[in-house]
Structure 1
């Protein structure tokens, strides 16, 4: 059985004051069947790790560089994230692909670097609105999977997050049938490449997930959890999503 995962991506939001949301989240959320991951700005990783102490909540980074160290001003290596207390790192988020021109090859290299530092890589894939409307969704997903997921993939250190670009922060959400089609396709494609290893990989859905629609999304085939953006910033919202996942 794949253990469920609720992951929150704070993006470029949050400072010291927002650590109070983590305290509230720990009070209100059950983790009997669900893993919880928060990926705050890098400036908060060490403080958040200390805050949660031995609580069942993991901390992750939002990106890493492919190199272990070097002259890369402003970048953070996977090893630095691990040293700060992170256990996971998001790679290939659409905002990195779009805003920073990251290719599948770069995402693949970042996933490899993550594993080398002992981190779990949350590898993001997803189509744009033009690609969806052009009927290219599954072709895009297949290409991104093949190019972004290294051959050495292990289910213990890999999470795949499907985030349709057009649904991120827009309030738009694919139909349940569309989500199911893509998640089933991802599982099938992973199976072709990785055989039995594919069964253990957790597949997350991301894109305008909120307490009001979480339960129905978590009822879809091959949805093992969610990668949540804005709704993860407030404990009251994120705990509602976690509760829906726990009950699914």
Structure 2
């Protein structure tokens, strides 16, 4: 049985003064049934880890594929782990678009995460043009195959489906569209990894909010959510956690 996961991506938001939201989240949900993860900007990772005190997991939003070296401005997977991280988001559409990250780059980063004992949250998703062209499953299948390393397990890998056209737009795919993609991802994971493919959690991301969380979590093969803006406030993210616990 896959344990549900509520993951929050703070993106380029948050200062030390905002860590009270983490404390408030823990106070309001001291014993959630699901796993809870927050991924702040790198500047807050160590401080958030101290605030979380093991009650919730923290993670990075990206890592370099090298363990160390002359890579000004980059952060390695080992550095994230040293700062208290247990997870790292990789291949988010904003990284793929803004930084030109290919499947090969995401794969190398996922391998680095494995080596540092971090769980990689590998993101896949289609653009609006690709969906309109009927290429959704082709694109997602290619990203999944090219970005997921050998040796992926339920312990070291999470897959997040984030339709690019739904991120931060308020638009959400239909429940049938979400089910189609998540069922496709599950089938591909089982095809490649056998029984281990059943243990890898699949998250949905893309304008998840308290008002639509319950119906999304009822969809087959949705094991949780990767949440953007709604994870910044304890009240909003807490409502999503409560919906996931009730699913």
Indicate whether the TM-score tops 0.5: yes
Q: Distance in 2 between matches of 1:71 and 1:86?
A: 22
For the pair 1:14 / 2:52, whether they are aligned, the reply is no
Number of the residue aligned with 2:66 = 67
CA contact (8 A) 1:30 1:246 kept: no
Q: Distance in 2 between matches of 1:31 and 1:172?
A: 32
Rounded to whole Å, the distance in 2 between the matches of 1:150 and 1:81 is 20
1:37 aligns with 2:34: no
Q: Structure 2: how far apart are the matches of 1:69 and 1:186? A: 33
- Is 1:196 aligned to residue 195 of structure 2? yes
**Counterpart residue number, 2:116:** 117
> Deviation string for 1:154-175 (max 9, x for gaps)?
2111000000000000000000
Aligned to 1:153: 152
Q: Is there any run of 5+ residues in structure 1 with no aligned partner, and where?
A: none
TM (normalized to structure 2)? 0.99
1:52-201 matches, cutoff 5 A: 52-55=52-55, 57-201=56-200
Q: Describe the shift of the 1:144–1:29 C-alpha distance in structure 2 as closer, same or farther (beyond 3 A).
A: same
In 2: Cα distance, 1:156 partner to 1:186 partner: 17
Alpha-carbon RMSD: 0.7
What is the deviation of 1:12? 0.2
Q: What secondary structure is seen at the aligned counterpart in 2 of 1:172?
A: coil
- 1:215 is aligned to 214
Give the Cα separation in 2 of the matches to 1:130 and 1:32: 38
How far off is 1:152 after superposition?
Answer: 1.7
Q: Which residue of 1 aligns with 2:244?
A: 245
**In 1, distance between residues paired with 2:155 and 2:31?**
19
For residues 23 and 30 of structure 2, what CA distance do their matches in structure 1 show?
A: 13
CA drift of 1:33 comes to: 2.0
- How many residues of Structure 1 are paired with residues of Structure 2 in the alignment? 247
Q: Quick one: distance in 2 between partners of 1:87 and 1:130?
A: 35
Displaced runs of 4 or more, over 3 A: none
Contact 1:92 1:124 in 2 (8 A): yes
1:47 counterpart residue number: 47
Unaligned runs of 5+ residues in structure 2 are none
